[in-house]
Chains A and B, each alone.
Chain A
């Protein structure tokens, strides 16, 4: 595995963003030397290597430089500094059907696209039927591509790219297109490529797909490589950065609207001081299947005999996954005057990975009823090293019974 398919060596890419583009001679004469620009470092000294036969993921949010990096690997952009060494034939799926000529038939476009990917006419002849079969466009192959639906366009593009026998396949989020059945087919083809020992570089904003396919990942953040290694750890770091960015935005928004505090204390005798969630000991990240705890610190001036704590776990996509009420669990709890920590423990957390939010409520009956509720009181990270997809990890077994 020492043989490298792609070696990215200290790649830096600087873009110059001009305030206003003076492209014409007249404007250049009118504004001599006044072309203002600021520099954007789309990539800063990114270096990693992709061993031959591995499947490599690149994760990053919008604007992290992953598309620039991909274009550099494909040779569409030249780096400002550094270089990329590519060993073997590379097919880049930056945009499916990018080289298609709308006026020409599907057949002619297959040959044109194949030539762009570096194939000789005889080589395309040999795989032409496979391409048509894969794209399922037998009836329409002699129709001009401008009459194709976008789905047909993409199918033909993908069919060409995977059938041109690339040693290195670069895929930029294109698996997210097409109908579900065709996506499935594309994924199967990608897996087949993995089995054949081809190198795949896979770019996505979807950690699920990356975990499913990749052996290692690189995480980009503002043009810098912040992680290179195991997918599960990479996904955790990617999510962490994504949330930091999100909180940044939320913070900016709440400064402007200070009149909407998140805590609603109907009665003043008690308040939620803080909430921690995650690993029972450290309140750090939890691995799927491990115990987790949510600790709510309550300060009260009164004593309550039968208080209850309510915890709601929200998935990264905002779905309420679980609502746990200590009253229904049959464990009424007592709150003493002063500070009390109410801890709810989940022995085996079945949830799959991601950044989960926790909403917390504390209520108590009595002379001065208590209703405390805090939205997004805490957040915790779940990590997952397996390959399952979805929201929960289920222990499943499989048997085969002949009849």
Chain B
């Protein structure tokens, strides 16, 4: 191999310019870690692409499966709740899907991110990069699936002739950002903890299931919780950072705060009768909490990361 065959500019960059300085030590500041993460954006994108490619490698439909599966699920829900087990809520499948899709994203992200450091021990032990990227990439690939599933939901809304509340639609990106923040924070935190306590990945599945039923996804926050419980119960619900997210999605995509029950012909308040400002306010609080949690998660991760290579 002669010099001429080497990559262009090899010599110049090796000798000129100020090289970046990296310090390997046990004490790294939060700011440094966040900077490292942002420097590795390309790697994050690459890992997300890899994860998606690997998942659908050698399958004919490929990534379309992400859309086929929820399409069939939604069709089943439409048959079950619209034709067989009528609960009286018109277009219940839209109500359900507006909360369920985002929840499924949240749950899958956390469960899969929790296991990712242990699962990819080979890389973690041999290659140096901010390892949180692995957890974040898992959440990232799940986000891609969620976006595609929303396309399916949009198609369903068109077919059923159910229009969203256009004025509330700006809630969607904000609510998505909120849930993304929590998914990343929990994913980063738990993936590090799982290296030391391998039970974490099993425990989290149970917690997620309990959490699912504590979030008003298949039932109505206003009708079933606020209407029947004491006031403190509503506050407990709102302390769950995912409740405002789900409520915002329902508010924007389902749109109808008050519905006429198709069975009893009685008018019901299924979504909170708040102004949109309250939804923004709740999401804002969730976001603040999410950033605090993310900060803690990255700190904990960086403390535990030092011994990953020997624990795995």
Q: Is A147 located at the chain interface by the 8 A CB criterion?
A: no
**Residues of chain B contacted by A86 (CB below 8 angstroms):** 21-24
The residue of chain B having its C-beta at the shortest distance from the C-beta of A164 within the complex is B7
**Residues of chain B contacted by A317 (CB below 8 angstroms):** none
Q: Is B305 located at the chain interface by the 8 A CB criterion?
A: yes
Q: Is A331 located at the chain interface by the 8 A CB criterion?
A: no
A75 to B11, CA, bound (A): 25
Query: At the interface with chain B, which of A95-103, A249-257, A267-275, A343-351?
Result: A95-103
Q: Is B263 located at the chain interface by the 8 A CB criterion?
A: no
- Contact between B15 and A197, CB atoms less than 8 A apart: yes
**Residues of chain A contacted by B54 (CB below 8 angstroms):** 101, 103-104
A198 to B11, CA, bound (A): 9
**Residues of chain B contacted by A185 (CB below 8 angstroms):** 1
CB-CB under 8 A for A83 and B126, given A189-B1, A198-B14 = no
Q: Is A153 located at the chain interface by the 8 A CB criterion?
A: no
**Residues of chain B contacted by A116 (CB below 8 angstroms):** 43, 46, 123, 127, 129
* Max chain B Cβ within 10 angstroms of own Cβ: one of A71, A103, A116: A116
A90 to B127, CA, bound (A): 11
A345 to B32, CA, bound (A): 65
Minimum CB–CB distance for B128 against chain A, Å:
4
- Contact between A74 and B10, CB atoms less than 8 A apart: no
CB-CB under 8 A for A165 and B13, given A77-B309, A115-B46, A120-B42 = yes
Q: Is B20 located at the chain interface by the 8 A CB criterion?
A: yes
* Max chain A Cβ within 10 angstroms of own Cβ: one of B14, B26, B203, B310: B14
A73 to B20, CA, bound (A): 15
- Contact between B123 and A98, CB atoms less than 8 A apart: yes
**Residues of chain A contacted by B40 (CB below 8 angstroms):** 118
Q: Is A208 located at the chain interface by the 8 A CB criterion?
A: no
Query: At the interface with chain A, which of B69-77, B170-178, B194-202, B222-230?
Result: B194-202
Please encode chain A, from 81 to 97, with 1 for each CB lying within 8 Å of some chain B CB and 0 for all others. Answer: 11111111110101100
Q: Is B6 located at the chain interface by the 8 A CB criterion?
A: yes
Minimum CB–CB distance for B174 against chain A, Å:
30
**Residues of chain A contacted by B8 (CB below 8 angstroms):** 126
- Contact between A76 and B128, CB atoms less than 8 A apart: yes
A197 to B19, CA, bound (A): 14
- Contact between B122 and A79, CB atoms less than 8 A apart: no
**Residues of chain A contacted by B273 (CB below 8 angstroms):** none
The residue of chain B having its C-beta at the shortest distance from the C-beta of A168 within the complex is B19
- Contact between A167 and B25, CB atoms less than 8 A apart: no
CB-CB under 8 A for A87 and B19, given A15-B310, A79-B25 = yes
Q: Which of B25, B53, B127 contacts A84 (CB 8 A)?
A: B25
Given A89-B19, A99-B127, A126-B7, 8 new contacts (CB under 8 A): A25-B197, A73-B24, A75-B22, A104-B54, A115-B42, A116-B43, A127-B7, A192-B1
Q: Report how many residues on chain B are interfacial, defined by Cβ distance under 8 Å.
A: 49
Q: Is B86 located at the chain interface by the 8 A CB criterion?
A: no
Q: Is B306 located at the chain interface by the 8 A CB criterion?
A: yes
- Contact between A165 and B122, CB atoms less than 8 A apart: no
Q: Is A196 located at the chain interface by the 8 A CB criterion?
A: yes
- Contact between B24 and A72, CB atoms less than 8 A apart: yes
Minimum CB–CB distance for A168 against chain B, Å:
9
Q: Which of A76, A104, A130, A198 contacts B127 (CB 8 A)?
A: A76
The residue of chain B having its C-beta at the shortest distance from the C-beta of A184 within the complex is B1
- Contact between A78 and B123, CB atoms less than 8 A apart: no
Question: Could you pull out 15 A-B pairs where Cβ atoms are within 8 angstroms?
Answer: A15-B310, A23-B199, A24-B199, A25-B197, A74-B128, A75-B24, A76-B125, A78-B307, A83-B24, A86-B23, A116-B46, A121-B42, A134-B1, A144-B57, A165-B13
**Residues of chain B contacted by A77 (CB below 8 angstroms):** 306, 309-310
Q: Is B240 located at the chain interface by the 8 A CB criterion?
A: no
**Residues of chain A contacted by B129 (CB below 8 angstroms):** 116, 118
Q: Is B89 located at the chain interface by the 8 A CB criterion?
A: no
- Contact between B11 and A196, CB atoms less than 8 A apart: yes
| Residues 60-79 of A contacting B (Cβ, < 8 Å) | 71-79
Q: Which of B7, B25, B50 contacts A82 (CB 8 A)?
A: B25
* Max chain B Cβ within 10 angstroms of own Cβ: one of A81, A85, A99: A99
- Contact between A112 and B47, CB atoms less than 8 A apart: yes
Q: Is B3 located at the chain interface by the 8 A CB criterion?
A: yes
Q: Is A263 located at the chain interface by the 8 A CB criterion?
A: no
The residue of chain B having its C-beta at the shortest distance from the C-beta of A3 within the complex is B19
The residue of chain B having its C-beta at the shortest distance from the C-beta of A15 within the complex is B310
